[in-house]
Structure 1
Amino acid sequence: MSGAHFSADWLQQREPFDTAARDEAARHLQLAARFHAMAPPAGTPWRVIDLGCGTGANQRWLAPRLGGPQQWLVVDHDAALLRGCATRRQRPGFRGVHCLPAAGPRAASGHAALARGPSRHRVGLA
């Protein structure tokens, strides 16, 4: 979808359906147990990169499930959606949320990745 722009209103309308799909996938994949097993040491934040973040729906769904301190890098090629995401991004425990505009169609989209330590501790959520 190179160069595609999405309406914030459309993304807001589909968010409940995306949330339901994420909830079902989380149950099937037993993500709560996986997140617990992967949790960083106390006081160390989760580091999350959300590529193609849109209005921040992945962050709104995932952040409360991770718990604890978190650092997010949110990336999108649509500056308007990125600005909207920035207005809703902070919550207690966040050490930082950084917005980064993607530079062209080669930027990946639609993916949140958790990075902590060796690659065996990384999980991606499509």
Structure 2
Amino acid sequence: MTDVLYQLVKNPKTLEKLIEEIDDALNEEEDQPKDGVIPCDKMKYMPYLRTGLDESLRLFPTTPHGLPREIPPDGIQEAFLLLCLPSSRTGSSQNFPRADQDISERWLGEEGKSLQSFILAFFSRGDGLHWPQHQ
């Protein structure tokens, strides 16, 4: 969350747009969260909130360390430890045009949906993509 807040303070236009989106989604008195938590059913009306989180994860991966990948027995060398640095994938201009810039809008629309695999790939295991799992 620190990285998200940092990006919002650094980009006032993004912060303004996010505040406007939240205000629009919570425009009625009954929509106001009683405990300070925005209800999940209201979050679907806040795509810009999601894009800010996705962009922050891209710019500041949750771990700076390499993520180990298992080598299959018929792979390069059995028992060889292969590490994949998150920033090598998310910080590459081959994967993200203007990769060094905070552009939350890149996650909107159909193009944005295709980018989800770059964030979720860090939670993959084996041959497929899975939700986060502890080993």
The structure with the largest alpha-carbon Rg is 2
Higher RCO (Cα < 8 Å, 6 or more apart):
1
TM-score past 0.5 threshold: no
- Greater helix percent: which structure? 2
TM-score (norm 1): 0.29
- Greater strand percent: which structure? 1
TM-score (norm 2): 0.28
